[in-house]
Amino acid sequence: MAVLVVNAGSSSLKLRLVGPDDVLLDGRDLDAPSGRADPRALDAALRELAARATAAGVGEASLVVGHRVVHGGTRFAGPVRVDDEVADLLRELTALAPLHQPVALAALGVARSALPGAVQIACFDTAFHHSLPAAASTYALPPRLREHHGIRRYGFHGLSHAHAARRAAQITGARRIVTCHLGAGASLAAVLDAVSIDTTMGFTPLDGLVMASRSGSVDPGALLWLQTEAGLGAAELSDLLVHDAGLRGLAGTGDMRAVEAGAVGGDPDCVLALDVYLHRLRGQIAAMTAALGGLDALVFTGGVGENSATVRARTAASLGYLGVAIDPDRNDPDRKAARVGAVGPARGARFGALPGAAADREISAEGAAVRTLVLTAREDLEIAREVRALLGEAGDGGTVARSR
């Protein structure tokens, strides 16, 4: 079976053709500014990848398209085959993930039209966190609000967290894992024996950590004050928190590379932005560790998590009391080549590059109580895994339970 993965983000759309044994057969990256991808470009790319699958011996009738959908609400606790009814239900959830849901739904529509013979499966970022215990998922609000409106902590980035936690467990044997998905969006998950038991995002992808343009957690009293006293309307406040807050609001840019460069140059706004980002990140890692009752492995993934040695180093430097310690040379590949190449053959199995993915590596200091890993974000592999599990379980590609 070949799975054509459609991974819709808030500013990009990634297509990956994953063959048997998770072999990446082909891929395309399309721009989706403001959550809008060119439907003609997407149609052409999907047809090209379907032709590539046919060339690899997979006909359209055996091709499955797996879609990343950010919000599944309370109804979808696992992957589901998409029909008109499911598509309509997903559309109703758009207000809960306005940056992501529209591009995912648009891509779904194009894929159903371009490849009518292919099975279409939706996989949800919220599904991994349906396992949150009531203490972690419940807001302190009256039942009439929670039950009638579905107000609860859903959690997001579940496909990335699930892959990172599974990969970390395979490498280290760890049971208590904190996964840090740090990109334009950012969240943490506390994973115990492959099950999510806590996370930093909540009802929407706006909660938790400081992000590129999203605020993360803000005192709700301050938001009410901005409406009642400063005169901001709901739409204006929503736009501010989603598009003009976070690193962008603090430093004028949501690009962590620019923030780090500005901080090195002494720009006070960039210094503050980086300090605020790291303060929230370190505190929430500690909170996730508390939920787990200890920490065996810490994982960095996502664009910032994989590429910012500064973020990793400054985060780890404050977590020594948890047993976290990283090796500066393994953490920063740009350090002197002599230091980078100093991993001896006896240590190669634990330190440095890891088998199975060229970019995955361990950056722990020797003797550290907690294993610290840098892992490539591979939502495509998690989507392919979920698709295969669903079709294998259902036999004919039917749906899993839609409610929880």
Q: Give the C-alpha separation, 137 to 335, whole Å.
A: 42
Structure tokens at 27: 């891929």
* Helix, strand or coil, per DSSP, at residue 261: helix
Q: How many CB atoms within 10 Å of residue 345?
A: 6
Half-sphere exposure of 338 (CA within 13 A, CB side): 0
CA distances from 10 to 38, 171, 184, 212 (A): 14, 31, 9, 12
Structure tokens at 318: 């404050």
Residue 90: exposure state from Cβ atoms within 10 A (0-12, 13-18, ≥19)? buried
- Please pick, among 125, 207, 327, 329, the residue that the annotation labels catalytic: 125
Q: What is the DSSP letter of 71?
A: -
**DSSP sequence for 123-155:** EETTGGGGG--HHHH--SS-HHHHHHHT-S---
User: Among 105, 113, 1, which Cα is nearest to 47's?
Assistant: 113
Q: Could you confirm whether 329 is annotated as catalytic?
A: no
Helix (H) or strand (E) holding 69: strand 63-69
Q: How many CB atoms within 10 Å of residue 202?
A: 19
Query: What's the one-letter identity of residue 379?
Result: E
Structure tokens at 386: 């979920």
Structure tokens at 222: 């301050």
Residues marked as catalytic: 125
